[in-house]
Every structure is written in C-alpha cells, then in structure tokens.
Structure 1
C-alpha cells in the first residue's frame, strides 16, 4: 500500500494527538477503523560498525557475488544486509555502488534481490538490507530515521574494495523515494539519486488517490469512494494513526543537489505519476538542480515491473531490459553530469484531491463518542436480551419487539462498516469483492442493515410512545435498556450519514 491518500516537511514520526494518547477508547475505536494502515535526528555521521563475511562460493559464473553484511544505524540498531558485487569486479577494479531502499511495508532484503542482481549484472555493486523493525510499523515510522539507516549503508558500501567511494548512490522505490531523497540532502557521501515511483504529494493525499483508483477499477461508484479515500484517511490522520501522513517531499527535493534519475511507469496507479513528476521537476528547478533525468517507462507499473492488468495487478516479474538504461546512466556519471531532461509525465485519469481538516462535528473525539454510544445502545440491548434468554427469563412485554431488531441490525451495520473499511485499507483497496449496482456486495449489505436499523428504531420509538403507561410499569433496567437503544438510534443517523452508509 500504500500505500496507500496516506505529509508537512518534518523528519520525525507523526505524533499521536493528545486525545489519542490519553483516551484508550479513542485508540481502540480508531485503531479498529484502521489499525489501519498498515502507513529524525539531525544530519551527521552515524556510528558505523560494519562487518562482512567472505563472498559466497555458490554463485554461478557471471552471476553477482553475494556477501552478507551487517551495520549499525544511528540509534544503535543492527541492520543486516547483502552486498551483490558486479561479476566483473576484481581486486583491482572499482566501479559504482548503489544502496537500494524498498517501499512501504516490512521491507525484507529479498523483496529487492532480483532488482539488485539486475543492477549488479550491469556492473553496479548493490547493497540491500532488511528494513528495521524497531521504530517502523503500520502506525509509526520516521523517514528521518530511515534516511539515517540508508546513509549508514552508504558508508559501508564506500568501504568495499570493488566500489569507488565517490560513486555510491541511493535508489528508492515509492516510500523509499521519500527516504532516499531525504538522505541525499543530509550527506554528500551519496553522490547520485535514483528513484522509482516517487510521490510528490503528501502520503495521505497520495493514498487517498490510490484508494479511489483501485475502487473505480473494480467498478465501485458512489459513497464508498469518498468514505474510504476521504473520511477514513482524514480520521486516521487526525488521530495520529497514519504515520508521516503530512510529510511534504517538496522542500526536500528543492534541497537535492546530486544528479537525479527519477522514473515512473506509464501504468503507475499508486504514485499519482503525472502530478508527482511535475511537482518534483518544479522542485528541482527551484532548487537550482540542472542535472536531472525524468524518465517515463512504457508498459510497466509502479515498481517498473511487468503488469498484465493495466497496472492494477502486482506480478513479480522484471522486464528483460530491467536496469539497462539506469545502469548506463550511472556509469556515464563518471565522465560528466547529465543535463536536465524530462519525458512527458505518465497520464492520470483523475487528479488527486486536497484533504481538508476535519470540522468539529467530525473530530476524532466526536466520532469516538458517537461510535461508543451506538455500540453501548445497540450491542448492550442485544447482549442483555441474550443473557435474559439464556437464563430463561420472560421477555418484558412493555419493550417493543422492533427494539431487538434495531439492536441486532445496528450492531451488525456499525461493526460491519468499520470491519470492511479496515479490510479495504489493509489490502490497499485491491480486493473489494463482488460489485452490484456500483457497490461492493459487503458495503451494500451494510447499507441495507443501517437502513433497517434506523427504521426499526423509529418503529420502537413510536410503539414506546404509544405504550407509555405500560412502559412506566416496567423495571428501571428495562427502561434504561430501551432508552440507550433509542439514543443509539438517534446518534446512529448522523454517524451513518458521515460514513456514507445512507448515501447512494
């Protein structure tokens, strides 16, 4: 995902709001909505303790020679990696080196090994490493910390006998492009920068755009588009559960001084490539960097891999000519800096949308309290009724039968909506399920349950109003149950509207 519409120029982690920190209720409710996505210190030399084992003797002739390594990040975290030496590298030959940084997610080194081997076969020694697990999760990450890890890897690669120290660069994919560009501004030890699927928007805005695209590709229209790509992303951002949601890459790109090769696939459905390529080019121009190459690669998706479904599938196959152009660009840096060139940016069918701050009536506290009231009223009524039946106690005749139907339907609608939105976010909206009348079947069922719950609650209120005398004779506990249910029905109406359950 993210990737997925989920940032201001900062290098520290996206902090939890005071409300989220102090309220276990808020954290539980909004983490259930998105545990949900899953998505620095000052510049300076990080302590580096690098060790390398001898190169493996199992590689075939002409294949890259792998060497396991480990090094220490700025905070003392030990990171494990693999150096893939170019096949032609000998004790007397030094060539370019490249540290590769993956996109969002766990980021094991195996994820980039095929790409790293392709570069190595073209004469560029590569270093890939397992992303840290301490300080990186679905709800917390720090691009500044990741950038320092990348620079520690650069320092290690500069010490390798097959690598020219002044020819080591950074490569970043998607989220890794945010990290690599930030690292490039912190140290001249990285002498060039290559990015794939770089995003010029904030992570929140980019993720919202990607969600919308994947849903539309599945045939979804209507309220769910806005609910997932706008309401959900803004709620998570406001609650501090979307890491680095407001990170703004533009000021960083304005400070990049190294030569840049930035690439986007024509079938990139995740990076908002037309906007991103334009934004990044303008930022480089404003910063005075005239040594960039912006390249559009035909027929490939976000990570420049082959695609069989117009960019929306995720096959793990490299094109036959993968790394040809990129390695040639890197090798030519030894003879001179490139002049600024840019291909036409990949076309986007839709533009991204700015995400507005939440109004007071949609604030995280307001939503959390409303959700809690609905759960207490609906689920509480259903659970106490079930307990009464288990104890074989008679049903209070003063309580309307419609109240039980409202309780069951309301509970199912509320939990179903939150659970389905959670599923869509965790899966980057790639698997919405069967679609009927422009709505995923699950979402349509939840909408029908919401309508049934509100209708049943209205009937229960009318019956209770007509039978006030009988209700007055009921126990205080039964009257409280019914009162909580009717309050839940009243609160559920605006709640369901805000989450798109009552909209077409």
Structure 2
C-alpha cells in the first residue's frame, strides 16, 4: 500500500472555527495527487479517517464518487456538540463527581460561545453517510469512553443501507482506547487492528462484504449520545461571559475607584465630598461582594481541576468530592453578609413604618428628628449619600446579585450534598 498523510490546512481549522466541508475539499486534492503517483492504481485510492476525521471522510466519499473505500476509525457519528456532552459525561462519571455537577453538563455544552465560537458544534454528517455507496470499514476500541461505540456503528449501518450499501464491516478491538492503543495512550497501537485494516484494504473488493459483518470484542455503551438542548438567553455564552466579567470587574473595581476618588477629593476642601455608603451597610456589602467573587473563582478552579483529572481518566476523591464541598461552603459563607444587608435594610423599612405610626398617634406634637422604634437604626438614615455612594452601592449590588445567580445556575446552591 502507498499512504499519503497530508499536512492539515489550518486556514480552515481552529479552536473556534472548523469547516468540515471545506476541509474535505482540501483533502480531496491530496487524493487527486496520490492518484497521479507512479505505481498507484487511481481506481483503488480510498480515505482513512480517525475520530474528528470521520466527519470529513464521508463528505469526501460523497463529493468524489471515484474514492474506492472509506475507513472510519473511532467515529462519533453524532453531532460534535452531542459527542462532547457524551464524552464529558463519561469522563466525569469515572472521576466520581457529585450528581449536582452532571446537571451542568448540558448547560455548558449546549451554550454557544461569544463571537460565534465553536460554530461547527452542530455539524451533521448523517446526510453524507446516507449517500455513502463505497465499501466502508468501521472500527472501535471497546475501551473508548469518548465515543458512542455501539450507537455510532448502528447509525452508520442504518444510514449506509439507505443508499443500498451493504458493504459495511464493523470491528471492535479488546482493550483498545480511542486511538486504538492498548493499555492507555502510551501503549502500542493494536497489532490486530493494523493487520485487519491492511488485509481489508488489500483484499478489496472481495473483503467488502465478508462475513461476519460485525465481529470482535463485545462493546458496552451504557448511555446514549443525545441531542443537547440550547439554554435560554441567560445561559448563552454571550450572557454568561458578559455578565460574569462585568460583575467581577465591578466587585473589584468599584471600591477601588471609590477609595481613590474619595481620598483625592478630601485634599481639596473646596470640592464636594464624593459621598459613601451607610456605615452599617458598608462592611457587609464589601464582604458579600468579596464572597461572591471568591465563590465564582473557586467554581472555576474546581472545574479546571476535575477537567484535568477526567482527561487523564483518573480519580481523586479529595479534589472531586472535597473540592465540591469547599466550593459550596464558600458559596454558603458568602450568603451570610448578604443576609446581614437584607436584615439591616429591613430594619430601615421597619423604622420608617414605626415612625409613621408614632406620628399618627402624636399629631400636632413636636417630633424628634429621626425617631425610630428599631434600636440602632435612625429612620432617616439613607443607604448611601452622594453620587459616589449611590454609584458604589449600585455597582456592588449588581455584582453580588449577578455572581450569586450565576453560581446558583451552575449548581453551587443546590439542595442536598
């Protein structure tokens, strides 16, 4: 066999943008080149695609009917978004993450990233598989946890049959992972797979419909790769990233700006004071905003940590279980100053109400300024004073509410442990 391995054209391939149809056109030029090589039979040139490449190979075979065969190795078949959700789910189950974390998977995978990132996540290869008429070899390792190894093979068989294609051969290899390696990613590629692949290609067309159609190790796919619902507007990428960045910026930046401006204006008595928040609200508001930022930071650190554990397909109960409890503990602690603020605002409301009742009972009498039946709270005491004080209060309120709602959306405040 003569094999040509082209260099990937990165003008159509990046983390945010991938055009599989255009990539198929790029790779087909390599097919055309291979057909012109001395000693190569142009009528027997086929395409080998592995993993993500199996979204491209069927497009090539459909657009170029002269392609003699396709080999689809570790094929996801489903849309990239569905495959990602399936893989993440399997990886996290192996790490033993709490049940609450699983609820965040569809929300994370279903959202679109800002500026149209991951626009290829909904690419559908099934229409191309339905037009696949050439002999096809489908290969999976039975320990490939990132792919729907049973569902994918069934889908390829069903789609090819719509085009009247019965020349589909499915093989599973025991102990092989996604890259057909034995004993993990550092192991050697399965020799049985390499031999079978070579025998199938060199034996065409006689090997195209050889029995049995499905053979090898027994696959075990526990869950289906299913469609991922799109979250509502507040769970979309633009909203999540935009509100989070704005909230963190205000939580950190607003107090700093207020202190700089406040200390600066005190140096010139002729200039008006910038104002500030009420003393009984200032500290709990700052603590609440700090707690909300720390909760968000802890959540991000935790997700990055379990992602590394999951990708290594390992386990660490201290990080996975203990880390999640730590994130939730920080989140609950951040609610304490929030409760203090709410309680003191409620005292102000009660103070105003009691003052009105006092006035009604003593109509016509002298009324002491700021009288209140609530100890420690003056009825006329404002939440803030001056433009700077009200701006600081508004900024911190927005930051606290936004960050707490965001972390609640991702499961930090779910009931139960």
Q: Could you state the TM-score of these two structures normalised by the residue count of structure 1?
A: 0.66
Measure the CA separation in 2 of the matches of 1:132 and 1:454.
51
Structure with more helix by fraction: 2
Paired position in structure 2 for 1:216: 93
Structure with more strand by fraction: 1
Q: What are structure 1's unaligned runs of at least 5 residues?
A: 1-123, 309-313
1:405 and 2:287 aligned: yes
- Structure 1 residues 500 and 473: alpha-carbon distance in aligned structure 2, compared to 1, 3 A threshold: closer
Q: 2:194 is matched with which residue: 310, 314, 323?
A: 323
Q: 2:144 is matched with which residue: 260, 268, 271?
A: 268
- Structure 1 residues 405 and 440: alpha-carbon distance in aligned structure 2, compared to 1, 3 A threshold: same
Measure the CA separation in 1 of the matches of 2:255 and 2:80.
40
1:479 and 2:377 aligned: no
Q: What are structure 2's unaligned runs of at least 5 residues?
A: 267-274, 349-376
SS in 1 for 2:3: strand
Pick which of 316-325 and 196-205 moved more. 316-325
Paired position in structure 2 for 1:380: 253
SS in 2 for 1:485: helix
Q: Is the 8 A contact 1:290 1:339 kept in 2?
A: no
1:277 and 2:146 aligned: no
- Structure 1 residues 473 and 268: alpha-carbon distance in aligned structure 2, compared to 1, 3 A threshold: closer
- Structure 1 residues 141 and 369: alpha-carbon distance in aligned structure 2, compared to 1, 3 A threshold: closer
Pick which of 401-410 and 163-172 moved more. 401-410
- Structure 1 residues 447 and 130: alpha-carbon distance in aligned structure 2, compared to 1, 3 A threshold: farther
Measure the CA separation in 1 of the matches of 2:265 and 2:90.
52
Measure the CA separation in 1 of the matches of 2:380 and 2:314.
49
Q: 1:304 is matched with which residue: 152, 176, 180?
A: 180
Q: Is the 8 A contact 2:132 2:165 kept in 1?
A: yes
TM-superposed CA distance for 1:498, in Å, is 1.5
TM-superposed CA distance for 1:279, in Å, is 1.2
- Structure 1 residues 307 and 431: alpha-carbon distance in aligned structure 2, compared to 1, 3 A threshold: closer
1:242 and 2:148 aligned: no
Paired position in structure 1 for 2:44: 167
Q: Is the 8 A contact 2:247 2:402 kept in 1?
A: yes
1:194 and 2:109 aligned: no
- Structure 1 residues 224 and 449: alpha-carbon distance in aligned structure 2, compared to 1, 3 A threshold: same
- Structure 1 residues 366 and 320: alpha-carbon distance in aligned structure 2, compared to 1, 3 A threshold: closer
* Two-structure CA RMSD over aligned residues (Å): 3.2
Paired position in structure 2 for 1:359: 232
Measure the CA separation in 1 of the matches of 2:401 and 2:182.
51
TM-superposed CA distance for 1:495, in Å, is 2.0
| Larger-Rg structure | 2
Q: Is the 8 A contact 1:222 1:439 kept in 2?
A: no
1:496 and 2:410 aligned: no
